[in-house]
Chains A and B, each alone.
Chain A
């Protein structure tokens, strides 16, 4: 009776409308702005110059013809998918770890969220200092296990690793929190039933716990993927897209094009492509999420 189609009864419809309307209005106020941004990507608009010409898809054609653009696309996707995959796996492991009945687990749980209290752009300067190859504290620790002068953000071949590292450190807690709650929500009876059927810890995990928290992992991955594909703060604060073009993701490239080189039309085109990549990835993740949810019920 509660889960009904809108066709039945006016009260259902009114309730539906009242529930959805505020959210739609609040967000809808900005929809025109996005269309305006898309329109600007079709022009040759530049800051500091009054004349603006319509160019159709000229900006896009120019982008797609450039090797450097496709490098940015691959840099962006590698960065985002690597970071999110690491965060999902680590998040699950840590959530399981803190779900055990050891004494430390209970007391240390608040620490899980600590990385999230620091705004990435604001703390980027500190990361730059910590990651200094010669005087940084991270290399100090690494020197104890024989690794010397690791490049972190200063060398082109380690920069990507370094920014993914920062992303994973900052946002794994996001996964931990969501997965942990999912684990707690699994009713003890189901676990007991499994144990009585002779399942060992690993089997319990694979057959019961994992499928039940999988929708939450996917949901968290969905949110993180959207943000990671758009990630600006972490990379801008540390490498600004370098060294060279090693970490030149689309959001950075768009920033430079639009706000440094003042070619706003072209920068907007890069951002629209970025948006499109996010759209496709989100579609896939949402389908995945719905599939895993169906399996759970």
Chain B
């Protein structure tokens, strides 16, 4: 009995420790976003302070104080957040549509060169983006995709599609073939099997994969900087807050907080699906 309680206590303690380490930088940034510039660089670090909304006001151009005002330069933070959402979510959606069937095919079919093809798909992630950024810039300008949602969603496939395909392949391989064979015996055709039998089983796994891949797409900076002008994602907008004329640390913190809202919301929404597990081993 005592041993159980002790183990429980230790486990809980460890969990708290892990939570603290994972969450602290985020909490620190949130705190900083409500501080005035003087408090941010104070040492010893300030944990108790008078909060101010000034930094958030600056982000949305409603600041009065000159100290944090960016002058006549419009800060425009709201639009980049929307851009990031459209581009990242759009990219993930396209990757799911194109990637799930491909992952399924790689899992269920055997053909010559299959592993080579799978590796080739993965290979698009091997080279640094910087290698192709210039021809990509010229290419996009030539075909009119520069500074467009469509162009960005397509380019982001380099980040999202290979991972979706590989994860999907792995999950499908975990689903016992017998389920599909049973459905086939009942007369179902292949597309039907995939949509009505396999997909529901995949859903929890795909939600997790989509969430991860969305976050990775959300991180991207280089593509957004070079290939957009007005439709810049939030990662570029955050760096635009660095202005030589002002003390910008608290405003950057506020910007980071705003940019966190969408990913955190998605994590909370997706939590339910993640509980159910990414494989369906129970069916065995």
Contacts and interface: CB of A to CB of B under 8 A. Distances in A.
Let me know if chains A and B touch directly in the complex, using CB atoms closer than 8 Å: yes
Interface of A: 1-6, 11-12, 15-16, 18-20, 22-24, 26-27, 29-30, 33-34, 36-37, 94, 97-98, 100, 102-105, 108-123, 125-127, 129-130, 134-135, 137, 140, 169, 173-174, 177-178, 180-182, 184-190, 215-216, 219, 223, 226-227, 230, 232-233, 251, 254-255, 258-259, 264, 267-268, 271-272, 274-275, 278-279, 282-283, 286, 293
A137 B45 contact: yes
A196 to B, nearest CB: 17
B119 A286 contact: yes
Given A186-B281, A255-B130, 8 more contacts: A20-B106, A104-B15, A104-B16, A105-B11, A126-B25, A126-B256, A127-B25, A268-B131
Contacts of B117: 20
B139 A118 contact: no
A23 B161 contact: yes
Contacts of B123: 279, 282
A97 B97 CA distance: 34
Contacts of A123: 25, 29, 256
A15 B104 CA distance: 11
B102 A184 contact: no
Contacts of B152: none
Count chain A CB atoms within 10 A of each CB in B19, B127, B135, B249 and give the residue with the most. Answer: B127
Given A185-B174, A185-B281, A219-B166, A97 B15 contact: yes
Given A23-B98, A30-B132, A34-B131, A2 B119 contact: no
A47 B202 CA distance: 48
Contact of B221 (A1, A11, A233, A275): A233
A98 B104 CA distance: 30
A126 B253 contact: yes
A36 B263 contact: no
Interface of A is mostly: helix
B130 A251 contact: yes
Contacts of A223: 125, 163, 166
Interface stretch (B48-56, B67-75, B264-272): B264-272
B43 A134 contact: yes
Contact of B279 (A185, A254, A286): A185
A177 B212 contact: yes
B257 to A, nearest CB: 10
B45 to A, nearest CB: 4
A173 B239 contact: no
Contact of A16 (B109, B267, B284): B109
Nearest to A201: B7
Contacts of A185: 174, 277-281
